[in-house]
Amino acid sequence: MGLFNRTKTVDIFFIGCDGTEVDRGIYSFYLNVNNGELIKKSFVKSLANPIALSRAGRWMYITYRNGTGAVTDGGVWQYACMELQLGLAARVHNEGKTYTQVIVSPDKTHAYAIDYYNGEIITMPILKSKLVRVSETKKLEGKGIDPIKQTESHPSQILFTPDDKYVVVLDMGGDTIHVYTLNEKGYLQEDLERTLKTNPGTGPRKMIFSKDKKYAYCINEIASTITTYAYHDGHFTLLEEKLTYIKEDFEGVNVPTDIVMTEDNQYIAVTNKGDDTIVLFERGDDGLLKRKDLIETDAGPVALEIFRDRWLVVVSKQGGSVESFEIRKNEKRGILFETHSAYALHAPTCIAKGAENLRVV
């Protein structure tokens, strides 16, 4: 066989790991798009524990946990994506606060981040493609009925609606889906008419929208459910709520941790920490969900990504692994299948896609 026959097509993804002084940092992987094989390629050690990876165009935003208490730790770090490498471009710190997610406005003039621990949302101007500073901080004032997780606001996700008209912030601690507009300066202004209180003790954690922009799906940390909403112009209308796992099969505490949807709108996959499963739901024409299949993962799955409408890559912090699974839509005896490809990592926490369609040896 010649060299040409040994080449393969891969997609790149990055994983952040808590780890120790020796192995904490950012790992890059190839995913073989033909068989789901995971191939570790590089590792860059970091001084702090990465919490979240957020890709926006050619930039990767990484948030790190402040482990020292110093006011110059934590914050948001901006990197240029260069296939398997990340080059530091800018850094914004804010009194040592730790952030858990970053998004960028459609016009790329501002970035926004949430602080789960202090219940805050920050706005950061972008000048010449780089983050500049924190220009505004909004404090959420909410609480719920759970005596441990809902004593105060805990924003768990920030995202733009699919029409790019509104910013949504899920407050797990306050049982609220906050809806904001952007003023002429790029600052967040809450639209109280559109902001929605969820059922008490729900704990909204993460939301995605259907590709036709008509429905939103939200996994709820405390209730361990997934809610289906009809979406229109910033308004959310509750259609149904159902468990993300089979309660009869698991008697402990379960937390849904991540959610993805296939590009064709047909399936939604949810990871469950506790039950330690991926559950696959099928969407109907009315947007409602029907449980279709499930498969066991390593212990404590915390993050999920989907590639090519075929491969699910799961990050399990407790089990210390990244593993892949396959969606086979035309199989009669199930849809989710093991690829038997996995890689051991020390306390992985997050995942983000990189470049696609690389031909490599």
φ and ψ of 5, to 5 deg = -75, -15
Whole-angstrom CA distances from 316 to 153, 181, 323, 351 are 26, 35, 8, 11
Q: Supply the pLDDT for residue 5.
A: 61
Q: Supply the pLDDT for residue 48.
A: 93
Q: Supply the pLDDT for residue 1.
A: 40
Please give the chain's pLDDT, 361 residues, in tens.
444 568 999 999 999 999 899 999 999 999 999 999 999 999 999 989 999 999 999 999 999 999 889 998 999 999 999 999 999 999 999 999 999 999 999 999 999 999 999 999 999 999 999 999 999 999 999 999 999 999 999 999 999 999 999 999 999 999 999 999 999 999 999 999 999 999 999 999 999 999 999 999 999 999 999 999 999 999 999 999 999 999 999 989 999 999 999 999 999 999 999 999 999 999 999 999 999 999 999 999 999 999 999 999 999 999 999 999 999 998 888 999 999 999 999 999 999 999 999 999 8
Q: Tell me which residue of 270, 264, 265, 309 sits closest to 286, measured CA to CA.
A: 265
Q: Supply the pLDDT for residue 333.
A: 84
Three-state DSSP class for residue 5: helix
Q: Supply the pLDDT for residue 68.
A: 87
Q: Do the bridges between strand 76-82 and strand 167-171 make them parallel or antiparallel, or are there none, so unpaired?
A: unpaired
